[in-house]
């Protein structure tokens, strides 16, 4: 194994985030939770069928020329490796195993997990959720609303708490960041909707802490002071890098422990 390969296996791994508009990747230092170097991004194909998405992921992988396993986020439920729902990609993914498909194409180990779960994993391991005990919920406000649920630092995968019903509406149709943009809501008006969503969320899972993530979290000073909950509300620390970092961390967790430390030449 080359020195680059040893570094990849032990520490630096590739994380890829499949989104509704773009597929982006970066090398991640999985011990520090930091992106190393630049991102590389391609547009998400339309339609985002398995074949088309795999082609795009391969372009991202080829750009970096890394060794070792790869972590990939997926915008939908991934239960025991199989896609159970889709958001912003083609429904032909349902029932397919994206890790197996990618491994056949790329010839290397691939770990795939829900995109919100990956972001939450990064925050709990390195960011705003580090050291927090009890029930921690990360809520990501973007095109929709994603969620990641943790109990004493352990992930409860594939929650879809963005779709809880709030005042007769799907929560994300009421309070997603895209709704704020589309309806040109002020921070104050949008925050009222978010508070209604959080009140319903709290009635269902009684969180001790709520981490606010997604693209809107970069403007957290504008709206988090307006939010109300009996849980502590904190902004995400890793912002838009959380998905990539979490994917790489998940890939490292899948490496047998004895193989993680690079061997001396």
Q: What is the pLDDT of residues 188-227, one digit of tens each?
A: 999 999 999 999 999 999 999 999 999 899 999 999 999 9
Do 225 and 250 sit in the same domain of this protein? no
Do 158 and 216 sit in the same domain of this protein? yes
Provide the pLDDT confidence category of residue 88 given band limits of 50, 70 and 90: confident
Do 79 and 29 sit in the same domain of this protein? yes
Do 137 and 109 sit in the same domain of this protein? no
Query: Do the domain assignments include residue 137?
Result: yes
Do 36 and 83 sit in the same domain of this protein? yes
Nearest to 111 by CA among 260, 246, 262: 246
Task: Answer yes or no: is pLDDT of 3 > 70.
Answer: no
Do 221 and 255 sit in the same domain of this protein? no
CB atoms within 10 A of CB 91: 13
Provide the pLDDT confidence category of residue 7 given band limits of 50, 70 and 90: very low
Nearest to 18 by CA among 82, 79, 61: 61
Task: Answer yes or no: is pLDDT of 235 > 80.
Answer: yes
Range(s) of the domain holding residue 142:
131-236
Q: Tell me what the mean pLDDT of segment 155-178 comes to.
A: 96
Query: Do the domain assignments include residue 122?
Result: no
Do 112 and 179 sit in the same domain of this protein? no
Query: Do the domain assignments include residue 90?
Result: yes
- Adjacent-strand bridge partners of 27: 14, 36
Do 61 and 165 sit in the same domain of this protein? no
Do 212 and 159 sit in the same domain of this protein? yes
Task: Answer yes or no: is pLDDT of 8 > 50.
Answer: no
Do 105 and 143 sit in the same domain of this protein? no
Query: Do the domain assignments include residue 52?
Result: yes
Do 208 and 110 sit in the same domain of this protein? no
CATH number at residue 190: 3.30.420.40
pTM assigned to the model? 0.90
pLDDT value of position 257? 54
Task: Please state, in angstroms and rounded to a whole number, the distance separating the CA atoms of residues 18 and 16.
Answer: 6
Nearest to 16 by CA among 256, 255, 254, 248: 248
170-180: burial string, b at 16+ Cβ within 10 Å, e else: ebbebbbbbbb
Q: Is 184 left (phi over 0), alpha (psi -120 to 50) or beta?
A: left
Please state the domain count of the chain.
2
Strands (E), the chain: 12-18, 22-29, 34-43, 70-74, 78-79, 82-83, 110-114, 135-141, 145-151, 154-156, 165-166, 169-170, 209-213, 232-235
Do 17 and 99 sit in the same domain of this protein? yes
- Adjacent-strand bridge partners of 111: 71
């Amino acid at each position: 194994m080359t020195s680059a390969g040893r570094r990849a296996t032990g520490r630096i791994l590739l994380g890829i985030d499949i989104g509704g508009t773009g597929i982006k990747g970066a090398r991640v230092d999985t011990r520090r939770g930091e992106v190393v170097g630049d991102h590389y991004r391609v547009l998400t194909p339309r339609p985002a069928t398995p074949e088309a998405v795999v082609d795009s992921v391969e372009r991202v992988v080829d750009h970096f020329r890394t060794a070792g396993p790869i972590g990939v986020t997926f915008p939908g439920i991934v239960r025991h490796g199989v896609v159970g729902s889709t958001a912003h990609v083609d429904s032909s993914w349902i029932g397919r195993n994206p890790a197996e498909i990618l491994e056949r194409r790329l010839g290397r180990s691939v770990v795939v997990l829900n995109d919100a779960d990956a972001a939450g994993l990064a925050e709990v391991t390195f960011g705003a959720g580090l050291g927090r005990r009890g029930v921690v919920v990360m809520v990501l406000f973007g095109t929709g609303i994603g969620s990641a649920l943790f109990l004493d630092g352990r992930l409860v995968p594939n929650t879809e708490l963005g779709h809880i019903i709030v005042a007769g509406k799907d929560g994300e149709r009421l309070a997603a960041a895209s709704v704020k943009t589309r309806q040109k809501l002020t921070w104050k008006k949008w925050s009222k909707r978010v508070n209604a969503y959080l009140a319903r969320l709290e009635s269902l899972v009684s969180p001790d802490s709520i981490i606010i993530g997604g693209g809107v979290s970069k403007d957290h000073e504008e709206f988090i002071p307006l939010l109300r909950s009996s849980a502590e509300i904190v902004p995400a620390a890793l912002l838009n890098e959380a998905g990539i970092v979490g994917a790489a961390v998940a890939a490292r967790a899948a490496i047998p422990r004895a193989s993680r430390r690079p061997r001396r030449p």
